Amino acid sequence: MHAIAIDGPAGAGKSTMAKAVAKALNYVYVDTGAIYRTLGCHYEMLGIGPKDADGITRLIGDAYIEARYTEQGEQRMFLNGEDVTGLLRTPEISDYASKISAFPVVREYLLDMQRQIAREHNVVMDGRDIGTVVLPDAEVKIFLTATPEERARRRFEELRLKNPKTSYEKVYQDLLQRDHQDTTRKIAPLRKASDAVELDTTNLTIEESVEAILKLAQEKIR
């Protein structure tokens, strides 16, 4: 099986580009952020705070998380048998996902699930530590980045469709906070793998970014 690992900060376009690359190559797209968000959703539903170490450890076994893929390759996330995909893209759940991912018990709980998918399928997997921790032997490793202002603009445009009252300034500040959390956490912090290719998408269209990733994949995967 072949694996393409795409890492980078929030708002860099990882999910959008990874989906397009997976479609072009007929690979399975694995949104690891959605997997962590699903676990965050579990704790939020139970009223467990994202920093409650005892509650997170005690109740993690109650979360049965499953990623299912439609015929079109869309990833749907199920929590204890319920499709929660539509609940995952809120700032609150994003914050939960970022904070709980700092706990070793959470990363261990979800690590095997992610690796098992890669054992069974050709995958494009995106996240914060795919190339460094989850799939260190991936043939292709990309570190996607863009300026904080551009990443915030992209996230703002996405959120504004759901809530017209969304504030760009709040989105920007939330993104800076998320960057700080992701890069300074003790367990698997966001960083570029030593053998990853950095791709700055600030001034690139989605199509140009996808084309660059596909070109690299074709060079690396024979």
Q: Which pLDDT does position 24 carry in this prediction?
A: 94
**Distance, CA of 107 to CA of 134 (rounded, Å):** 10
Q: Which two three-digit tokens encode residue 151?
A: 């990443």
Report d(CA 168, CA 153) in Å as an integer.
Answer: 7
- What's the confidence (pLDDT) of residue 147? 97
| pLDDT score, position 9 | 94
What residue type is assigned to position 145 of the chain? T
Q: How far apart are CA 158 and CA 13, in angstroms?
A: 11
Q: How would you write the pLDDT of the chain (222 residues) with one tens digit per residue?
A: 899 999 999 889 898 999 999 999 999 999 888 999 999 999 999 999 999 999 999 999 999 999 998 887 788 999 999 999 999 988 889 889 989 988 999 999 999 899 999 999 999 999 889 999 999 999 999 999 999 999 999 999 988 888 888 899 999 999 999 899 889 988 888 999 999 999 999 999 999 999 999 999 999 887
pLDDT of residue 176: 95
Owning domain of residue 202: 3-212
User: Residue 119's pLDDT is what?
Assistant: 94
Residue 11 belongs to a domain? yes
CATH of the domain at 105: 3.40.50.300
- Rounded CA gap, 53 and 220, in Å? 41
Whether residue 97 is contained in a domain is answered as yes
- Amino acid identity at 218: Q
Which amino acid is present at 165?
A: K
Task: List the beta strands (DSSP E) in 32-177.
Answer: 65-69, 75-79, 82-83, 123-127, 140-145
Does some domain include residue 221?
A: no
Is residue 220 a part of any domain in this protein? no
What was the pLDDT predicted at 187?
80
Partners of residue 140 on adjacent β-strands = 4
Inside any domain, residue 218: no
Question: Could you give the number of structural domains in the chain?
Answer: 1
**3-class DSSP string for 33-68:** HHHHHHHHHHHHHHCCCCCCHHHHHHHHHHCCEEEE
Rg (CA), the chain: 17
